[in-house]
Structure 1
Amino acid sequence: MPQSRWIALLLWPVALVLVTWTLSQMPLAGIGDTLGKLSWQQWLVWTLVNLLVIMVSTERWRRLGCMLGKAPGFLQMLLIRQAGQTVSFITPAPHFGGEPFQIYWLYKRAGMAVHRAVLSLALDRFYELWINFMMLLLGVSLLLLAPQSGMQAGSQNSDWQMILLLMMTLLAVLSAIAWLLVRQPALLSARLEKAGARWLSSPRLKTLGEHWHLMGSDLKAVVRSQKPALLTALVLSLLGWALMIFEVWLVLAFFDIRLNAVELALILVAMRLALLLPLPGGIGTLEAAVFWTFQSLALPVESALGLIALMRLRDVVVLLSGLLCLRALQTARPAPTQPA
């Protein structure tokens, strides 16, 4: 049986079981009553904002792929991204887990060279992580500089300082990796090749060193000649974050809640930190973060339920659409593989 068939047979049962469990853990019982108060105009605006977030993230990845050479079109990239996001959502780390499948689909279904598929995805994830940590760093800094934000002093302030230190450390590590990628790609490639030398006797991995060398060469070419494309990816990353901030502000406005910048930062930081914890989709942690922040800010519990309901409704739609994308990718005809 072809390897792709084995992957399909293993992926689908696991995915369906985990999706069923995830849906069973979501607060679906009271969603109808809470969301029935929204007008169709509010539904439309909220839907458009979420579609824009997905489109911006997809376009960033597509542009990173295009600057490396031949890359799939927007629709194909969207299918691969959403399918991978579904796999990532149902894994213990909600931001990661679907990358091997995305690389496989780029190679097998879109005909992209393996090293370029890996490099485009690595660059996309780097932008996502770096901007996420940077925004969290800015948010925590804002909270620490504004003690009148509704937080208690003392132990909580100390907790935010620890989080700030963690964000700074993660940013420093990512920035050091970026410096190596930009300034010394050959050095990093050599280190990776040395680390994986013990497995190179495997028939499946015998070309691993060649792929690493090709990635290093492509990185050099990108840094020298594709600076505008890299800057565009940065702008798209910032735009995606701006849309996510706007979405939370918009949902709160739906429930007649108007917050200042510090209060909004508290909710956003708590929600994003909850999604970094090793639970599928942040089930439980996101809800706890929202209730804690609403209690700290003396906001109505009904509004917290509305925010959670909309966030989880979006997750349900993403999960179901991602499963459809998985099915579409498995039934699509493979593209001819691009030569290295």
Structure 2
Amino acid sequence: MKLLAAVTLWLLALGLAGYALTSAPIEGIIATLRHLTPAQLIALTALNAAIVCLFALRWWLLLRQAGHRLPFFAAVRYRLTAFGVSYFTPGPQFGGEPVQVLAVTQRHGVPPAAALSALSLDKVLELLANFTFLALGALLIAGRMSLSPRLVIGALLLAALPWGYLLGLYLGARPLSALSAHAPRGIARLTAVIQQSETEIARFCRRQPLALSGLMLLSALVWVALVGEYALMLRFLGAPLSGRQVLTFMVAARLAFLTPLPGGLGALEAGQVLAAEMLGLNSALGLSVGLLIRARDIAFGLLGLLGGGALLGTSNSSPHDV
């Protein structure tokens, strides 16, 4: 069954990639990409590196808030390694989180429960921002285009999940702890870590609402930077678009990364082509955007994996190495 599922996923990815590649003439793609200058590529790379640092900053602040100090650029390195693992793993952009937990526990002496609670809250805040963006983006786009009501409702429900989880924790609920209580006895140690980490997350939400609000503002800042990067990329490709048009491209990209395909392979490229066609733009622009994003993410993903290889190949540092 696993082999059949893997083959099906790869066939789907190849089919979507084939659709995207045949939707635009190669001459149009080359002409669009030729708008980019070396200076513009450097600017986009620098901006994306800054965004990676912003993602790591939220997790790093959560660890510091819990009393565990580690070098900021070590956190950036671990976050980039986790991205590399997640990017090349089938599924909706998850899979690298154990690397982050392992890195801070083994190299910096962070207790497993504290490492898991910091990372879990970081992921909840990330999902909260991502799904809220999708919901708002879907609502804005629906005002101009005939989107399926089911898509809009689905986006709103996705946005409600992380908000509901945080609200539940604030009110005293422990959903993950309740579920883990029914887990097999053979994983009792893992169950205890999950329950302890959720207790720490709930304590943080209830006792430090201002810090939580600050982290939410940081998540919003990340999305402002992401929208700015996307708009700048489109402008560099010769297509200065309105905010609503930029959001259309971005919503298509985020939906692609929610598919079970590694790195949204095929779905990203096809989604960008469809977004361009929905807006009445040249499909070559959509595919060019998709290829540029693909090249960027592969480069950062490989950089993260290389860093992870070096990380696993070195001995543990002192827990007090800050």
**TM-score, normalised via structure 1 length:** 0.79
* Preserved CA contact (<8 Å) 2:86 2:94: yes
| Residues 297, 212 of structure 1: alpha-carbon distance in 2 compared, 3 angstrom cutoff | closer
In structure 2, the partner of 1:172 is 160
Partner Cα separation in structure 2 for residue 279 and residue 230 of structure 1: 33
Percent of pairs with identical residues: 28
Shift of 1:109: 2.2
Change (3 A) 1:115 1:146: same
Matching residue within 314, 318, 331 for 2:296: 314
The corresponding residue for 1:238 is: 220
Q: Deviations over 1:89-123 (max 9, x none)?
A: 11111410111222222211222110011111111
Q: Does 1:296 align with 2:278?
A: yes
Alignment of 1:55-134 (within 5 A): 55-134=53-132
Number of the residue aligned with 1:194? 181
Instruction: Tell me what 1:252 maps to.
Output: 234
Q: Is the CA contact 2:180–2:194 (under 8 Å) kept in the aligned structure 1?
A: yes
Match of 1:4 in 2: none
**Using a 3 Å threshold, how does the CA distance of structure 1 residues 302 and 171 change in structure 2: closer, same or farther?**
closer
Q: Secondary structure at the match of 2:240?
A: coil
TM-score by length of 2: 0.83
- Structure 1 residue 131 displacement after superposition: 0.9
Moved more, 275-284 or 260-269: 260-269
Equivalent position of 2:256 in the other structure: 274
1:328 to 1:227, Cα distance in 2 relative to 1, 3 A? farther
Which stretches in structure 1 are left out of the alignment for 5+ residues? 1-17, 148-152
1:210 and 1:335, CA in 2 relative to 1: closer, same or farther beyond 3 A?
A: farther
Distance 2:301 2:278 in 1: 31
* 1:250 Cα deviation after fit: 0.7
**Residue type of the alignment partner of 1:330:** L
Q: Which runs of 4+ in 1 moved over 6 A?
A: 29-33
Contact 1:276 1:282 in 2 (8 A): yes
Q: Distance in 1 between matches of 2:103 and 2:189?
A: 19
CA distance in 2, matches of 1:220, 1:300: 49
* Runs of at least 5 residues in structure 2 that lack an aligned partner in the other structure: 1-9
Report deviation, 1:293: 1.4
Q: CA RMSD in A?
A: 2.7
Q: Structure 1 212/264 Cα, relative in aligned 2: closer, same or farther at 3 Å?
A: closer
Using the alignment, how far apart are the partners of 1:82 and 1:116 within structure 2? 20
Aligned residues, how many? 300
Residue 13 (structure 1) aligns with: none
